[in-house]
Structures are given as C-alpha cells and as structure tokens.
A and B are shown apart, each in its own frame.
Chain A
C-alpha cells in the first residue's frame, strides 16, 4: 500500500515537481507578535466563502427563480426539504458573518499598514473582493422575493436612477425594465449564481497568489528589531492547525446561530402593498442608508441621493488607492494621518449604523 502511494507520488512529482512545492511550503513562516491575531481573519473570510459556495450549490437544487416560484420554493426548502431550514439559515448567517470578517480583515490590514509596498495589489484585489461581496449580499437578498427584499431592492436600485444622464438607462438594465419585477429577479439570480462567483473566484485566486508569493506582512516596527528578536512560526503545520481550529469554532458558532436564530422568510413580496413600517436595509448598508436619510433633498445643484452616492464613490476610490497615496514620512514609517483617517471612517460607519438602528 505504502509502495503504491509512493509510486503515485513519484508519478506526479516527475511531471509537476511536487517536491519543489512542498519544499517551498515548508519554508513558509508566519510572524509572531502582539498583532498576530489579525492574520486569521483573511482565513476566516475564506472559510465562510467556501461555506457560501457549498450551501449555495445545495440551495440551487430546489430554488426556482420567478415571481411565482421564488418565494414558494424557499418556503418549500425551509418547510418540506429535510434540513432545508438549516442549509438556508447557514447560507444567510454565513453571508453576514463573511461580510463582518471581511470588514475586520480590511481594517486590520489598514491599521497595521500591511497594504504598503510591495503589497499594493493585494490590497486592491482585497478591496474588489469586498465590493463583490457586498454585491453578492445585495443580489442574494432579493432572491427569496419577500416584502423586505422587494422594497430594499426598489430603493437600492432607484438610487442608481439618480445618476445624471445615464441613470435612467442604467436603472433599466439593472432592473430588466422600469420596475422591480420578475425580470429583476432573473437578472439578480444570474448575477448571484454565475457572474459574481466567476469574477470573485478569479480575483480571489490572485489575492491568494500574491500572499503566497510575498508571504505575510511584517509590522513596520519590526524593521528596527534585530533579526534574532523577530519570532516566526512555521505555516505548516503550526499556523494551518491554528487556522483549522478557528474554522471549527466558526463552524460551531454558525451552527448555533442557524439553529437557535433561524433566518426568517417573512411575507411574500406584493408590488401592490405599501412598504411595511420599520423597513431597513441589511446592517452592512445601514451606514450609507442613514447618511442618505440625513441629507437634504438638494445639495448645491445636485439631488441629495446622487450627492451621497457620489461622496461614497469618491471615498471608496480613495480607500482603494490608499497604498499609492500613503507616503512614508521623513523619519520612517509613521504616518499618523492615515491612522486618523482610518479611525474617522471606522467611527463614522459605527455611529451611522447605530443611529440607523436607534432612529426610526
């Protein structure tokens, strides 16, 4: 048996130089310092993404897109299919936890300045993955075709219509017509299960490839340390085992959430019913929603919504380009402005999110 395994290994090694890869992996190490905990959130995001893919494929077995079938098929999944409620609940919870993990991952990379040269493109691909994850969330939210999702999509897409000149046409392309209808559902479904996964996988591949090539980022203050005071642990097996332990914990949290707080389906969308009281978007859009709510109808000569969207777009682009405008200060790496900006963004997002929950 051992002989056969060895033969098989040699067969592959002869063709694909597996030994070289193992050699490379065995030298890979992870810095060990007081901020090491943040290294794990990328892995957590990846794990939750894998869960999304697996549970998403399972949901596809029963989900039928359409104005007359989407809600009914989700209802069928959660009430008739064995463990259907669990799969659907895990898909929803894992989506939310993934967005949370991605946000933590992003801010930790920001504040530890891990995006600096030579890791600019790891940051850029990471940011694109965040935008795609939010689009995943927005498009997936509509798919059960319930009341909340219907109005959230109406509002969310109508904002696009406030863009001057091209807004109206863009709105039609996104909705598949003038209004949010079965055509919108079909488009969002295609986006959610085909277009986004395709693009996401390619960018994720590059994101991970860059990390493999360059290794983990070391904190700036390490540059002043003598080499013997820098501690590392091997990636394999030490870091990977810790990673796996954490994944196991996350899986348990997910199971507890999905079992004790199953995701509600709500009422079926009715295009001829008033919007229900207390309607709000998902928590990760709440800070934008709250900002738009506080803006007056007209800012300068622009519509309030458009002004808000413009500001968020500009801020997003600046955030994406942080590695290129965050320059070294004269006395080395300490650039306090970056910390202040990051802190402002974080506090702004948290305050607006809390306000969004508290204010009716």
Chain B
C-alpha cells in the first residue's frame, strides 16, 4: 500500500477515535450538568396578601411581611399613610429596613438608602425598590402587586 494512503487511513482512525471520545465526554457531562441545575418548583403566584388590621401598625414604623417567598416592607408614615415595597435591596439581595432616625429605608449590608417612596438616594443601590399597592378594606390591610 502507498505510504500516503496508509497515513490517511491512520488519520481517519484517529479522527474517529477523537470524535468518539468527544461524544463519550458529552454523553457523560450532559446529564451531570443537567442534574446540578435545580429544577423549577411550581409555586403559586401570589398577587396579594392580607397583613392585618390598621391599628396593628403604629405610625412611623416599618414591618417586614411575607409576600409569597419574598420579603416585603410595609411602612406606616407619620401621617398615617401606608406604603408597601419589596424588601429586597436592589444592590445585592439583602433585606432592607425602615430607620426611624433617618426617616428612610436602609440596607445594613452596604449602607444603601432609599427615601420613603422607595427611590434609591445614596449608597450602591442601582434601582428603586419595587413598589406594591396597599388597599384598605374596612380596617384590614391588603398588599397587592396588581396595578
């Protein structure tokens, strides 16, 4: 057999082995990678929650509440008005709190501040807090995401 032909046959076998190896690698890695990505859990889409009676919240305070599996922050301003926001800091996922001494919403992790409209006013937060709508029916407070 000609040496050139022999060489090309060897090359062919090498390619075949090489591709076979890559195929084997993919068939091993694919299920492993798919396995480590956590599956999506079906979760009930919560659109509104009942938080309690108006009198439960004193003016000039902030309270963390559960909104599905995320924390929310209910403010009662000095004038008695209610406001609700997502309590998740837009910077790095910490949970914010109302600071009476600052009259602001504050994040302890990196000293980020939001005003009482949820607007980021100082520190690292890049965006305002997501605002929710507060509905008062009778003397019960509801917080909803719907516009």
Beyond A275-B108, A279-B108, A303-B126, whether A151 also contacts B94 by CB under 8 A is yes
Give the residues in chain B near A275, CB-CB below 8 Å.
94-97, 107-109
Q: Does B37 contact A (CB under 8 A)?
A: yes
Q: How many residues of A contact B (CB 8 A)?
A: 30
CB-CB contacts of B28-51 with A at 8 A, as 1s and 0s? 000000001110010000000000
CB contacts under 8 Å to B, within A167-198, are 169, 172-173, 176-177, 179, 183
A282 to B95: give the CA distance in the assembly, Å: 19
Interface residues on B, range: 20 to 34
Contact of B108 among A169, A177, A272, A276 (CB under 8 A): A276
Residue contact A155 to B92, C-beta cutoff 8 Å? yes
Q: Does B139 contact A (CB under 8 A)?
A: no
A292 to B125: give the CA distance in the assembly, Å: 12
Of all chain B residues, the one with the shortest Cβ separation from A360 is B111
Of all chain B residues, the one with the shortest Cβ separation from A183 is B38
Interface of B is mostly: loop
Give the residues in chain B near A273, CB-CB below 8 Å.
64, 95
Q: Does A119 contact B (CB under 8 A)?
A: no
Residue contact A172 to B37, C-beta cutoff 8 Å? yes
A154 to B87: give the CA distance in the assembly, Å: 14
Contact of A271 among B36, B65, B71, B111 (CB under 8 A): B71
Smallest distance from the beta carbon of A156 to chain B beta carbons, Å?
9
Residue contact B124 to A154, C-beta cutoff 8 Å? no
Q: Does B110 contact A (CB under 8 A)?
A: yes
Q: Does A51 contact B (CB under 8 A)?
A: no
Q: Does B66 contact A (CB under 8 A)?
A: yes
Q: Does B93 contact A (CB under 8 A)?
A: yes
Extra inter-chain contacts (11) besides given A275-B94, A275-B95, A275-B108, CB under 8 Å: A151-B94, A154-B94, A169-B37, A172-B38, A173-B37, A177-B41, A272-B71, A273-B95, A274-B64, A295-B124, A298-B126
Pairs of residues from A and B, 8 with the lowest C-beta to C-beta distance, nearest first: A274-B97, A275-B108, A158-B93, A158-B92, A275-B94, A297-B126, A155-B92, A274-B95
**Interface of A with B (CB < 8 Å)?**
151, 154-155, 158-159, 169, 172-173, 176-177, 179, 183, 271-279, 292-293, 295, 297-298, 303-305, 360
